[in-house]
Structure 1
Amino acid sequence: MRRLALVLALSLSCAAACAAEQVRAAAPFTSISVQGPISVTVDAGKAQTILVRGNDRFVSGLTSEVVNGELRLGMRDKNLSAGKGEQRVLVTVPALRAFKAEGAGETLLNNIRGERFDLSYRGAGRLVINGQVKSLKMRAEGVGEVDAKALVANEADVRFQGIGDVKVHAKDRLDTVVQGMGTLTYYGKPRNINNSVQGIGSVDAGD
Protein backbone atom coordinates (compact mmCIF):
# COMPACT_ATOMS: atom_id res chain seq x y z
CA MET A 1 0.00 0.00 0.00
CA ARG A 2 2.81 2.38 0.93
CA ARG A 3 4.61 1.59 -2.34
CA LEU A 4 1.42 2.23 -4.34
CA ALA A 5 0.94 5.58 -2.63
CA LEU A 6 4.52 6.53 -3.50
CA VAL A 7 4.03 5.57 -7.15
CA LEU A 8 0.85 7.64 -7.36
CA ALA A 9 2.55 10.61 -5.74
CA LEU A 10 5.46 10.42 -8.17
CA SER A 11 3.06 10.14 -11.13
CA LEU A 12 1.12 13.21 -10.05
CA SER A 13 4.35 15.10 -9.48
CA CYS A 14 5.62 14.19 -12.95
CA ALA A 15 2.32 15.19 -14.56
CA ALA A 16 2.49 18.59 -12.91
CA ALA A 17 6.13 19.05 -13.88
CA CYS A 18 5.68 17.88 -17.46
CA ALA A 19 2.61 20.01 -18.22
CA ALA A 20 2.90 23.77 -18.59
CA GLU A 21 1.07 26.74 -20.06
CA GLN A 22 2.46 30.14 -20.89
CA VAL A 23 0.73 33.25 -22.19
CA ARG A 24 2.88 35.25 -24.60
CA ALA A 25 2.56 38.98 -25.15
CA ALA A 26 3.07 40.23 -28.71
CA ALA A 27 2.62 43.26 -30.93
CA PRO A 28 -0.37 43.16 -33.30
CA PHE A 29 -0.02 40.82 -36.29
CA THR A 30 -2.07 39.71 -39.30
CA SER A 31 0.14 36.88 -40.59
CA ILE A 32 1.89 33.88 -39.03
CA SER A 33 5.08 32.02 -39.97
CA VAL A 34 5.94 28.66 -38.39
CA GLN A 35 9.36 26.99 -38.62
CA GLY A 36 9.74 23.48 -37.25
CA PRO A 37 7.57 20.62 -35.95
CA ILE A 38 5.10 22.88 -34.15
CA SER A 39 1.36 22.22 -33.93
CA VAL A 40 -0.76 25.37 -34.09
CA THR A 41 -4.44 26.21 -33.74
CA VAL A 42 -5.59 29.65 -34.90
CA ASP A 43 -9.06 31.06 -34.26
CA ALA A 44 -9.65 34.25 -36.27
CA GLY A 45 -12.27 36.85 -35.41
CA LYS A 46 -11.31 37.15 -31.74
CA ALA A 47 -9.12 39.39 -29.59
CA GLN A 48 -5.41 38.64 -29.95
CA THR A 49 -3.94 36.04 -27.58
CA ILE A 50 -1.06 33.54 -27.69
CA LEU A 51 -1.03 30.51 -25.40
CA VAL A 52 1.79 27.93 -25.46
CA ARG A 53 0.82 24.56 -24.01
CA GLY A 54 2.95 21.46 -23.48
CA ASN A 55 5.79 20.09 -21.41
CA ASP A 56 8.36 22.42 -19.88
CA ARG A 57 10.94 21.71 -22.56
CA PHE A 58 8.54 22.59 -25.36
CA VAL A 59 7.19 25.73 -23.69
CA SER A 60 10.63 27.09 -22.80
CA GLY A 61 12.08 26.11 -26.18
CA LEU A 62 9.43 27.81 -28.33
CA THR A 63 10.38 31.22 -29.70
CA SER A 64 7.83 33.86 -30.68
CA GLU A 65 8.33 37.34 -32.08
CA VAL A 66 6.45 39.76 -34.30
CA VAL A 67 8.34 41.27 -37.24
CA ASN A 68 6.57 43.69 -39.59
CA GLY A 69 3.14 42.42 -38.58
CA GLU A 70 4.10 38.74 -38.83
CA LEU A 71 4.11 36.39 -35.84
CA ARG A 72 7.11 34.08 -36.16
CA LEU A 73 7.12 30.80 -34.23
CA GLY A 74 10.14 28.51 -34.00
CA MET A 75 12.20 26.27 -31.73
CA ARG A 76 15.51 27.24 -30.12
CA ASP A 77 16.73 23.66 -30.45
CA LYS A 78 16.31 22.74 -34.11
CA ASN A 79 16.57 19.05 -33.23
CA LEU A 80 13.83 19.19 -30.62
CA SER A 81 10.61 17.49 -31.64
CA ALA A 82 7.31 18.98 -30.57
CA GLY A 83 6.18 15.46 -29.76
CA LYS A 84 2.60 14.28 -29.44
CA GLY A 85 -0.31 15.07 -27.19
CA GLU A 86 -1.20 18.51 -25.90
CA GLN A 87 1.94 20.31 -27.06
CA ARG A 88 0.48 23.11 -29.14
CA VAL A 89 0.38 26.86 -29.70
CA LEU A 90 -3.12 28.33 -29.44
CA VAL A 91 -3.58 31.68 -31.17
CA THR A 92 -6.58 33.98 -31.45
CA VAL A 93 -6.43 37.02 -33.70
CA PRO A 94 -8.94 39.57 -35.06
CA ALA A 95 -8.00 38.82 -38.69
CA LEU A 96 -5.46 36.57 -40.40
CA ARG A 97 -4.31 37.46 -43.92
CA ALA A 98 -1.47 34.98 -44.46
CA PHE A 99 -0.04 31.78 -43.01
CA LYS A 100 3.28 30.10 -43.79
CA ALA A 101 4.59 26.85 -42.30
CA GLU A 102 7.62 24.62 -42.80
CA GLY A 103 7.76 21.46 -40.73
CA ALA A 104 5.78 18.45 -39.62
CA GLY A 105 3.27 19.85 -37.18
CA GLU A 106 -0.52 19.72 -37.24
CA THR A 107 -2.22 23.02 -38.03
CA LEU A 108 -5.85 24.10 -37.73
CA LEU A 109 -6.96 27.52 -39.04
CA ASN A 110 -10.52 28.48 -38.10
CA ASN A 111 -12.88 31.18 -39.38
CA ILE A 112 -10.54 32.70 -41.98
CA ARG A 113 -12.32 35.60 -43.70
CA GLY A 114 -11.43 38.54 -45.92
CA GLU A 115 -10.66 39.67 -49.43
CA ARG A 116 -7.55 37.52 -49.87
CA PHE A 117 -5.68 34.80 -48.02
CA ASP A 118 -2.14 33.64 -48.80
CA LEU A 119 -1.18 30.13 -47.70
CA SER A 120 2.27 28.56 -48.00
CA TYR A 121 2.82 25.07 -46.63
CA ARG A 122 5.95 22.95 -46.93
CA GLY A 123 6.69 19.73 -45.13
CA ALA A 124 5.16 16.47 -43.97
CA GLY A 125 2.47 17.66 -41.59
CA ARG A 126 -1.24 18.32 -41.90
CA LEU A 127 -3.13 21.59 -42.26
CA VAL A 128 -6.90 22.04 -42.11
CA ILE A 129 -8.51 25.42 -42.78
CA ASN A 130 -12.08 26.74 -42.86
CA GLY A 131 -13.80 30.05 -43.54
CA GLN A 132 -14.69 32.20 -46.55
CA VAL A 133 -12.52 34.50 -48.68
CA LYS A 134 -12.76 36.19 -52.03
CA SER A 135 -9.33 35.07 -53.25
CA LEU A 136 -7.04 32.23 -52.15
CA LYS A 137 -3.40 31.91 -53.14
CA MET A 138 -1.89 28.59 -52.10
CA ARG A 139 1.62 27.21 -52.42
CA ALA A 140 2.10 23.65 -51.13
CA GLU A 141 5.17 21.44 -51.28
CA GLY A 142 6.17 18.13 -49.74
CA VAL A 143 4.42 14.98 -48.60
CA GLY A 144 1.90 16.53 -46.24
CA GLU A 145 -1.83 17.15 -46.45
CA VAL A 146 -3.54 20.51 -46.96
CA ASP A 147 -7.31 20.34 -46.53
CA ALA A 148 -8.91 23.63 -47.60
CA LYS A 149 -12.21 22.07 -48.65
CA ALA A 150 -14.04 24.09 -45.98
CA LEU A 151 -12.38 27.38 -46.99
CA VAL A 152 -14.85 28.67 -49.58
CA ALA A 153 -13.13 30.97 -52.07
CA ASN A 154 -14.50 32.74 -55.12
CA GLU A 155 -11.14 32.38 -56.86
CA ALA A 156 -8.22 30.06 -56.07
CA ASP A 157 -4.68 30.00 -57.44
CA VAL A 158 -2.92 26.80 -56.37
CA ARG A 159 0.65 25.64 -56.99
CA PHE A 160 1.35 22.16 -55.62
CA GLN A 161 4.59 20.19 -55.80
CA GLY A 162 5.27 16.84 -54.16
CA ILE A 163 3.50 13.60 -53.34
CA GLY A 164 1.01 14.89 -50.81
CA ASP A 165 -2.70 15.59 -50.95
CA VAL A 166 -4.42 18.97 -51.40
CA LYS A 167 -8.12 19.86 -51.26
CA VAL A 168 -9.44 23.26 -52.33
CA HIS A 169 -12.86 24.91 -52.74
CA ALA A 170 -13.47 27.50 -55.47
CA LYS A 171 -16.81 28.81 -56.77
CA ASP A 172 -15.90 30.97 -59.77
CA ARG A 173 -12.34 30.37 -60.97
CA LEU A 174 -9.64 27.78 -60.28
CA ASP A 175 -6.06 27.93 -61.57
CA THR A 176 -3.80 25.01 -60.65
CA VAL A 177 -0.30 23.77 -61.38
CA VAL A 178 0.54 20.31 -60.04
CA GLN A 179 4.09 18.94 -60.21
CA GLY A 180 5.07 15.48 -59.02
CA MET A 181 2.91 12.61 -57.86
CA GLY A 182 0.46 14.43 -55.64
CA THR A 183 -3.32 14.64 -55.82
CA LEU A 184 -5.32 17.86 -55.92
CA THR A 185 -9.07 17.57 -55.39
CA TYR A 186 -11.30 20.58 -55.95
CA TYR A 187 -14.82 21.35 -54.76
CA GLY A 188 -17.40 24.05 -55.46
CA LYS A 189 -17.88 23.32 -59.18
CA PRO A 190 -15.97 26.41 -60.38
CA ARG A 191 -17.19 27.88 -63.66
CA ASN A 192 -13.68 28.52 -65.02
CA ILE A 193 -10.91 25.96 -64.59
CA ASN A 194 -7.32 26.14 -65.83
CA ASN A 195 -5.27 23.08 -64.85
CA SER A 196 -1.67 22.13 -65.59
CA VAL A 197 -0.22 18.78 -64.50
CA GLN A 198 3.49 18.05 -64.79
CA GLY A 199 4.33 14.49 -63.79
CA ILE A 200 2.01 11.69 -62.76
CA GLY A 201 -0.05 13.73 -60.33
CA SER A 202 -3.74 14.45 -60.81
CA VAL A 203 -6.41 17.14 -60.52
CA ASP A 204 -9.85 15.71 -59.77
CA ALA A 205 -13.32 17.08 -59.09
CA GLY A 206 -14.59 16.14 -55.65
CA ASP A 207 -18.27 16.99 -56.21
Structure 2
Amino acid sequence: MSNPIKNLTKKEWALWLTSLAVVIASNLLTGSVDPLTLAAACVGITSLIFAAKGNVWSQILMILFSLLYGVISWQVRYWGEMITYLGMTLPMAVWSTVTWLRNPADNGKAVAIRRLTAKHIAGLAFFCTLTTWVFYLILRALDTPNIAFSTISVATSFLAASLTMLRTSYYALGYASNDLVLIVLWMLASLKNPLYIPVVVNFTIFFVNDMYGFISWRKREQAALA
Protein backbone atom coordinates (compact mmCIF):
# COMPACT_ATOMS: atom_id res chain seq x y z
CA MET A 1 0.00 0.00 0.00
CA SER A 2 1.48 3.34 -1.07
CA ASN A 3 1.52 6.38 1.20
CA PRO A 4 -1.71 8.25 0.28
CA ILE A 5 -0.54 11.56 1.75
CA LYS A 6 2.69 11.55 -0.25
CA ASN A 7 0.78 11.41 -3.55
CA LEU A 8 -1.65 14.28 -2.90
CA THR A 9 -1.51 17.24 -5.29
CA LYS A 10 -1.65 20.87 -4.13
CA LYS A 11 -5.30 20.99 -5.18
CA GLU A 12 -6.07 17.89 -3.10
CA TRP A 13 -4.21 19.26 -0.09
CA ALA A 14 -6.29 22.44 -0.38
CA LEU A 15 -9.55 20.47 -0.68
CA TRP A 16 -8.65 18.23 2.26
CA LEU A 17 -7.57 21.01 4.63
CA THR A 18 -10.45 23.30 3.64
CA SER A 19 -12.96 20.50 4.18
CA LEU A 20 -11.51 19.73 7.61
CA ALA A 21 -11.53 23.42 8.54
CA VAL A 22 -15.19 23.82 7.55
CA VAL A 23 -16.42 20.81 9.55
CA ILE A 24 -14.34 21.74 12.59
CA ALA A 25 -15.66 25.31 12.46
CA SER A 26 -19.26 24.12 12.08
CA ASN A 27 -18.85 21.95 15.17
CA LEU A 28 -17.29 24.76 17.20
CA LEU A 29 -19.94 27.31 16.21
CA THR A 30 -22.74 25.23 17.72
CA GLY A 31 -21.22 25.93 21.14
CA SER A 32 -21.40 22.26 22.05
CA VAL A 33 -18.85 20.08 20.30
CA ASP A 34 -19.79 16.43 19.87
CA PRO A 35 -16.41 14.62 19.77
CA LEU A 36 -17.93 11.58 18.03
CA THR A 37 -19.50 13.63 15.24
CA LEU A 38 -16.31 15.61 14.74
CA ALA A 39 -14.14 12.49 14.67
CA ALA A 40 -16.46 10.77 12.20
CA ALA A 41 -16.43 13.81 9.91
CA CYS A 42 -12.63 14.06 9.88
CA VAL A 43 -12.23 10.34 9.23
CA GLY A 44 -14.89 10.44 6.50
CA ILE A 45 -13.34 13.40 4.70
CA THR A 46 -9.90 11.83 4.79
CA SER A 47 -11.34 8.58 3.45
CA LEU A 48 -12.94 10.42 0.51
CA ILE A 49 -9.73 12.27 -0.36
CA PHE A 50 -7.82 8.98 -0.41
CA ALA A 51 -10.64 7.33 -2.38
CA ALA A 52 -10.30 10.00 -5.06
CA LYS A 53 -6.69 8.84 -5.44
CA GLY A 54 -7.81 5.21 -5.64
CA ASN A 55 -5.79 4.40 -2.52
CA VAL A 56 -6.80 1.38 -0.44
CA TRP A 57 -6.38 3.34 2.80
CA SER A 58 -9.69 4.99 1.94
CA GLN A 59 -11.47 1.68 2.49
CA ILE A 60 -9.71 1.04 5.77
CA LEU A 61 -10.83 4.48 6.98
CA MET A 62 -14.34 3.75 5.70
CA ILE A 63 -14.47 0.80 8.11
CA LEU A 64 -13.67 3.16 10.98
CA PHE A 65 -16.17 5.75 9.72
CA SER A 66 -18.92 3.12 9.53
CA LEU A 67 -18.36 2.24 13.20
CA LEU A 68 -18.47 5.88 14.30
CA TYR A 69 -21.47 6.77 12.15
CA GLY A 70 -23.31 3.68 13.35
CA VAL A 71 -23.05 4.91 16.95
CA ILE A 72 -24.16 8.44 15.97
CA SER A 73 -27.19 7.02 14.13
CA TRP A 74 -28.07 4.87 17.15
CA GLN A 75 -28.14 7.98 19.33
CA VAL A 76 -30.81 9.57 17.09
CA ARG A 77 -32.73 6.31 16.56
CA TYR A 78 -31.99 6.33 12.84
CA TRP A 79 -32.04 2.54 12.85
CA GLY A 80 -31.80 2.41 9.06
CA GLU A 81 -28.54 4.32 9.04
CA MET A 82 -27.14 2.28 11.91
CA ILE A 83 -28.06 -1.07 10.36
CA THR A 84 -26.99 0.03 6.88
CA TYR A 85 -23.52 1.20 7.88
CA LEU A 86 -22.77 -1.51 10.45
CA GLY A 87 -24.46 -4.37 8.63
CA MET A 88 -23.75 -3.48 5.01
CA THR A 89 -21.30 -0.62 4.39
CA LEU A 90 -18.76 -1.85 6.95
CA PRO A 91 -18.50 -5.48 5.70
CA MET A 92 -18.49 -4.27 2.09
CA ALA A 93 -15.67 -1.86 2.94
CA VAL A 94 -13.74 -4.84 4.29
CA TRP A 95 -14.47 -6.70 1.05
CA SER A 96 -13.43 -3.65 -0.99
CA THR A 97 -10.17 -3.44 0.94
CA VAL A 98 -9.32 -7.01 -0.09
CA THR A 99 -10.46 -6.41 -3.68
CA TRP A 100 -8.46 -3.20 -4.05
CA LEU A 101 -5.33 -4.81 -2.61
CA ARG A 102 -5.61 -7.64 -5.13
CA ASN A 103 -6.12 -5.34 -8.13
CA PRO A 104 -3.50 -2.56 -8.14
CA ALA A 105 -2.98 -0.32 -11.17
CA ASP A 106 0.23 -0.64 -13.17
CA ASN A 107 1.89 2.17 -11.21
CA GLY A 108 1.15 0.42 -7.92
CA LYS A 109 -0.12 3.67 -6.38
CA ALA A 110 -3.83 3.17 -6.95
CA VAL A 111 -6.46 0.52 -7.59
CA ALA A 112 -7.06 -0.57 -11.17
CA ILE A 113 -10.30 0.83 -12.59
CA ARG A 114 -12.88 -1.62 -13.92
CA ARG A 115 -15.52 -1.00 -16.56
CA LEU A 116 -19.08 -2.06 -15.76
CA THR A 117 -20.67 -4.75 -17.92
CA ALA A 118 -24.33 -5.50 -18.58
CA LYS A 119 -24.00 -8.42 -16.15
CA HIS A 120 -22.77 -6.07 -13.41
CA ILE A 121 -25.64 -3.64 -13.99
CA ALA A 122 -28.27 -6.40 -13.94
CA GLY A 123 -26.80 -7.82 -10.73
CA LEU A 124 -26.71 -4.40 -9.08
CA ALA A 125 -30.35 -3.72 -10.01
CA PHE A 126 -31.54 -7.09 -8.67
CA PHE A 127 -29.62 -7.11 -5.38
CA CYS A 128 -30.26 -3.40 -4.74
CA THR A 129 -34.02 -3.97 -5.07
CA LEU A 130 -33.89 -7.06 -2.86
CA THR A 131 -31.71 -5.43 -0.20
CA THR A 132 -33.80 -2.27 -0.10
CA TRP A 133 -37.04 -4.23 0.31
CA VAL A 134 -35.63 -6.37 3.14
CA PHE A 135 -34.27 -3.32 4.94
CA TYR A 136 -37.57 -1.48 4.50
CA LEU A 137 -39.40 -4.30 6.29
CA ILE A 138 -36.87 -4.14 9.13
CA LEU A 139 -37.12 -0.34 9.36
CA ARG A 140 -40.92 -0.48 9.41
CA ALA A 141 -40.85 -3.06 12.19
CA LEU A 142 -38.54 -0.79 14.20
CA ASP A 143 -40.82 2.22 13.66
CA THR A 144 -37.91 4.17 12.16
CA PRO A 145 -38.36 7.97 11.92
CA ASN A 146 -38.46 9.42 8.38
CA ILE A 147 -38.65 5.91 6.95
CA ALA A 148 -38.96 7.04 3.33
CA PHE A 149 -35.62 8.83 3.32
CA SER A 150 -34.05 6.07 5.41
CA THR A 151 -35.13 3.51 2.82
CA ILE A 152 -33.75 5.59 -0.05
CA SER A 153 -30.51 5.89 1.93
CA VAL A 154 -30.29 2.09 2.06
CA ALA A 155 -30.56 1.87 -1.72
CA THR A 156 -27.97 4.57 -2.42
CA SER A 157 -25.61 3.15 0.23
CA PHE A 158 -25.84 -0.31 -1.31
CA LEU A 159 -25.10 1.02 -4.78
CA ALA A 160 -22.20 3.15 -3.52
CA ALA A 161 -20.59 0.29 -1.58
CA SER A 162 -21.13 -2.19 -4.44
CA LEU A 163 -19.69 0.15 -7.07
CA THR A 164 -16.69 0.76 -4.81
CA MET A 165 -16.11 -2.97 -4.58
CA LEU A 166 -16.41 -3.23 -8.38
CA ARG A 167 -13.72 -0.52 -8.74
CA THR A 168 -15.70 1.80 -11.01
CA SER A 169 -15.75 5.60 -11.04
CA TYR A 170 -19.52 5.53 -10.52
CA TYR A 171 -18.92 4.64 -6.88
CA ALA A 172 -18.51 8.38 -6.25
CA LEU A 173 -21.88 9.19 -7.80
CA GLY A 174 -23.43 6.54 -5.57
CA TYR A 175 -21.97 8.14 -2.47
CA ALA A 176 -22.86 11.65 -3.71
CA SER A 177 -26.49 10.53 -4.08
CA ASN A 178 -26.38 9.07 -0.60
CA ASP A 179 -24.94 12.35 0.71
CA LEU A 180 -27.96 14.26 -0.61
CA VAL A 181 -30.35 11.87 1.13
CA LEU A 182 -28.40 12.13 4.38
CA ILE A 183 -28.40 15.92 4.21
CA VAL A 184 -32.21 15.78 4.25
CA LEU A 185 -32.30 13.16 7.03
CA TRP A 186 -30.01 15.11 9.33
CA MET A 187 -31.74 18.40 8.58
CA LEU A 188 -34.90 16.77 9.91
CA ALA A 189 -33.00 15.55 12.98
CA SER A 190 -31.47 18.98 13.58
CA LEU A 191 -34.96 20.53 13.72
CA LYS A 192 -35.41 18.61 16.98
CA ASN A 193 -31.83 18.97 18.20
CA PRO A 194 -29.53 21.75 16.81
CA LEU A 195 -26.57 19.67 17.95
CA TYR A 196 -26.89 17.75 14.66
CA ILE A 197 -26.54 20.80 12.41
CA PRO A 198 -22.80 20.03 12.00
CA VAL A 199 -23.75 16.61 10.61
CA VAL A 200 -25.65 18.39 7.81
CA VAL A 201 -22.53 20.45 7.10
CA ASN A 202 -20.42 17.28 7.21
CA PHE A 203 -22.45 15.54 4.52
CA THR A 204 -22.49 18.69 2.38
CA ILE A 205 -18.69 18.62 2.45
CA PHE A 206 -18.79 14.89 1.74
CA PHE A 207 -20.87 15.62 -1.37
CA VAL A 208 -18.24 18.06 -2.67
CA ASN A 209 -15.46 15.53 -2.05
CA ASP A 210 -17.41 12.70 -3.68
CA MET A 211 -17.95 14.77 -6.81
CA TYR A 212 -14.20 15.50 -6.88
CA GLY A 213 -13.61 11.75 -6.55
CA PHE A 214 -15.80 11.06 -9.59
CA ILE A 215 -13.97 13.67 -11.67
CA SER A 216 -10.61 12.28 -10.55
CA TRP A 217 -11.48 8.69 -11.47
CA ARG A 218 -12.92 9.73 -14.83
CA LYS A 219 -9.66 11.48 -15.65
CA ARG A 220 -7.77 8.30 -14.83
CA GLU A 221 -10.12 6.31 -17.04
CA GLN A 222 -9.63 8.68 -19.95
CA ALA A 223 -5.85 8.63 -19.49
CA ALA A 224 -5.87 4.81 -19.55
CA LEU A 225 -7.84 4.78 -22.81
CA ALA A 226 -5.61 7.39 -24.49
Give the TM-score taking structure 2 as reference length.
Answer: 0.20
Larger Rg: 1
More helix by share: 2
Q: Indicate the structure whose relative CO is greater, using CA pairs within 8 Å and at least 6 residues apart.
A: 2
More strand by share: 1
